[in-house]
Structure 1
Amino acid sequence: MKRIYLVPAAVLGMSVALAGCGSSGSSNKSSAPAGGSTSGSTTPTVTSSASSSAPLPSSTATYPAGAGSITIGSAGFTENEILADIYAGALQAKGVKVQKKLNIGERAQYIAALKDGSIDFVPEYSGTILGFYDTSTTAKSPADVYTALETKVPATQAVLNPSPAQDSDTITVTKKTADKYHLKTIGDLASVASQLTLGAPAQFKTKAAGVPALKSVYGVTFGNFTPLQAGGAITIAALKNGTVDAANIFSTDPAIAANGFVSLTDDKSMFAAQNIVPLVNKAKMTKTIADAANAVSAKLDTATLGVLVGKVTNDKKTADAVAKEWLASAGLG
């Protein structure tokens, strides 16, 4: 899946998983991956790539009663537009007056809109937005990232509850490879990686949260490294045809479910957590808005989000239609 990273220069090269080139975040995900359509599919069972299975923290902020009104924005890529449509639909179902300003563009643009009041709410990625506001952060786990984020956003902003759904870097293998070597976590690769080839962006070979971390965190050293784009059709094809045995693919790439790939669990938080989290203007928040958004976040998961993205990129449905379908199925529409 094509991704273009649009973050401040100070963030580039950090180990925050979505902050630099070859990571996720404010990206262009418009091109469909290889592997076919997810049409008609149900949420698949996919090995989680989440950094931790521990319960997520939640916001302790309180907001006034009432429904209120709000303008929801999104970044300029498919997944974020779907998320914005989902949150918007859930809020409307609770009587909140909602306007939408979608596909605003890169992070600098929609953060500026949040600051000047053009929008009041935007779906974000916890590790990336923490890196945006704190370029020296070392937080990695979902709980640590969210706890740090609450203290680093500007005083006029807040984050609502994080979702279990993440759009994060993964090390992904085919089911055949996972079964052959009994792979569930990245650490399980330690005894067999010398026989395998890793495919990833060229910078993954030297960046902190890349090949060096595989060795230092997990004791994993691949026998060969093949430079590839960050996910996308070439990477998916290379993994499918055996040119590479493992690949750096983003956790919500629809090709994971479509091809039955297995994303290995990052149980030692090599990659910074990238939980979906609404970033909001405090002044426009009400209890109704917060509760409705938190209900959405609680029901989303990584595999489901990948399926929803596939319905837009592969099946050519609109983001709004996909959002409405999911809200109805989740009892939130």
Structure 2
Amino acid sequence: MVVAASVRMMARSLVIAAVTVAVSCGNDASVPFITVGAGDSVESAVLAEIYAGALARTGARTAVQSGLGGRSNYLAALDADRVQLVGEHTGALLAYLDEHAAARLPQKVEAALSAALPEGLVVSDIADGADLRPRVLLTEQMSTVDSVRSIGDLIPRCGVLTVGVVSAPGPLPLPAGSDQVTGCAFASTVAFPDSAALRKALLDGQVQAGVLTGPPELTPGVTDGITVLTDDDYAVRAENVLPLFRKGLLDQQRIKKLNYVAGELRTDDLAVMIRRVRDEGAAPGEVARTWLDAHAL
């Protein structure tokens, strides 16, 4: 009888201990709950899922709040702590915060952006390999005949050229005027509804140059018979991907995870993910999870 009573007492003690541990783990204040915000663009939704997925793999509890609208809306949500992290571009965010900023090179844009951030917001590493800058286009014939391979080569000729401009579908929005090339004042500008119309206008000679507000990987076929001018001097301001989040939100382990994401993310990877969501109807969470798995993140 004594032995049976002791066994029952031990069993009750184990149950109480187990319940205590479960409650403790469920209410662990050291595990943050992070809501990642996404605006209306496909890229914003994909980046939100990438960051939320990566942070979840560190043990954080995460959720994505999508459809927040344009840049002013999702940044307001971040400022109000309705979301705690969003994906952004260095150049576009800098221009939004400081319209007079002159920085163009990636490191200088990054430094200027850090200085311009409102109190309480910080960034981690930029994705050097994810370059979302607008691209300047010429026909292969014009590029060869006039020996124009870079934007620097084009700048002395800009004043006599008509440029066609088109927005690449899917990426984060660029501020007004961000399609302008530093030092290059075109004679006139014509807007086109899509990249196919711009390509046709270039090949037909209706315009002599083109500006695509995003990498050509987002619009396959746009560069057939077309030269994408190099821009090693960053006449077009740097537009690298990075996360923007509330100060004090993440510990070093989780910041390191975001930095690993930055080190792996490439322009072509991001373009493929955007096209899968935009053109094939794939779920942003699915494409993000596949990419994280492929890069062991």
Instruction: Output the TM-score relative to the length of structure 2.
Output: 0.73
Q: Deviations over 1:168-193 (max 9, x none)?
A: 22202456665666654212336887
Equivalence for 1:133? 97
CA shift for structure 1 position 84: 1.0
Query: In structure 2, do the counterparts of structure 1 residues 85 and 137 end up closer, same or farther at CA, with 3 Å as the change threshold?
Result: same
The number of aligned residues is: 255
Equivalence for 2:50? 86
Q: Name stretches of at least 5 consecutive residues in structure 1 with no aligned partner.
A: 1-65, 202-206, 216-220
Corresponding position: 1:227 with 2:197: no
Contact 1:125–1:166 (Cα < 8 Å) also in 2: no
Q: Deviations over 1:13-53 (max 9, x none)?
A: xxxxxxxxxxxxxxxxxxxxxxxxxxxxxxxxxxxxxxxxx
Quick one: which amino acid aligns to residue 61 of structure 2? K
CA shift for structure 1 position 159: 0.9
Q: Residue 135 of structure 2 is aligned with which of 135, 152, 170? A: 170
Deviates more, 1:266-275 or 1:236-245: 236-245
Give the Cα–Cα distance (whole angstroms) in 1 for the partners of residues 124 and 292 of structure 2: 19
SS at match of 1:276: strand
Quick one: which amino acid aligns to residue 273 of structure 2? L
Equivalence for 2:79? 115
Equivalence for 1:249? 212
Contact 1:159–1:280 (Cα < 8 Å) also in 2: yes
Deviates more, 1:138-147 or 1:88-97: 88-97
Give the Cα–Cα distance (whole angstroms) in 1 for the partners of residues 114 and 159 of structure 2: 41
Equivalence for 2:109? 145
Quick one: which amino acid aligns to residue 98 of structure 1? T
More helix by share: 2
Query: In structure 2, do the counterparts of structure 1 residues 195 and 145 end up closer, same or farther at CA, with 3 Å as the change threshold?
Result: closer
Corresponding position: 1:77 with 2:41: yes
Q: Residue 213 of structure 1 is aligned with which of 174, 183, 199? A: 183
SS at match of 1:144: helix
CA shift for structure 1 position 98: 0.6
Contact 1:172–1:264 (Cα < 8 Å) also in 2: yes
Equivalence for 1:274? 239
Let me know the Cα RMSD of the aligned residues: 3.0
Quick one: which amino acid aligns to residue 190 of structure 2? P
Quick one: which amino acid aligns to residue 161 of structure 1? D
Give the Cα–Cα distance (whole angstroms) in 1 for the partners of residues 99 and 181 of structure 2: 21
Q: Deviations over 1:211-230 (max 9, x none)?
A: 67226xxxxx7xx7551237
Contact 1:231–1:248 (Cα < 8 Å) also in 2: no
Give the Cα–Cα distance (whole angstroms) in 1 for the partners of residues 294 and 203 of structure 2: 32
Quick one: which amino acid aligns to residue 271 of structure 2? G
Q: Deviations over 1:270-313 (max 9, x none)?
A: 22211111110013112232111111111112233222222222
SS at match of 1:278: strand
Q: Name stretches of at least 5 consecutive residues in structure 2 with no aligned partner.
A: 1-29, 167-176
Contact 1:231–1:250 (Cα < 8 Å) also in 2: no
Contact 1:251–1:263 (Cα < 8 Å) also in 2: no
Query: In structure 2, do the counterparts of structure 1 residues 96 and 183 end up closer, same or farther at CA, with 3 Å as the change threshold?
Result: farther
CA shift for structure 1 position 163: 1.0
Instruction: Output the TM-score relative to the length of structure 1.
Output: 0.66
CA shift for structure 1 position 237: 4.2
Contact 1:162–1:297 (Cα < 8 Å) also in 2: yes
Give the Cα–Cα distance (whole angstroms) in 2 for the partners of residues 322 and 137 of structure 1: 35
Contact 1:70–1:99 (Cα < 8 Å) also in 2: yes
SS at match of 2:184: helix
Quick one: which amino acid aligns to residue 57 of structure 2? A
Q: Deviations over 1:49-91 (max 9, x none)?
A: xxxxxxxxxxxxxxxxx76331100111111111111111112
Give the Cα–Cα distance (whole angstroms) in 2 for the partners of residues 197 and 109 of structure 1: 35
Deviates more, 1:265-274 or 1:185-194: 185-194
Quick one: which amino acid aligns to residue 73 of structure 1? G
Quick one: which amino acid aligns to residue 66 of structure 2? L
Give the Cα–Cα distance (whole angstroms) in 2 for the partners of residues 187 and 137 of structure 1: 21
Alignment of structure 1 residues 169-188 onto 2, 5 Å: 169-173=134-138, 183-188=148-153
Corresponding position: 1:295 with 2:260: yes
CA radius of gyration, larger in? 2
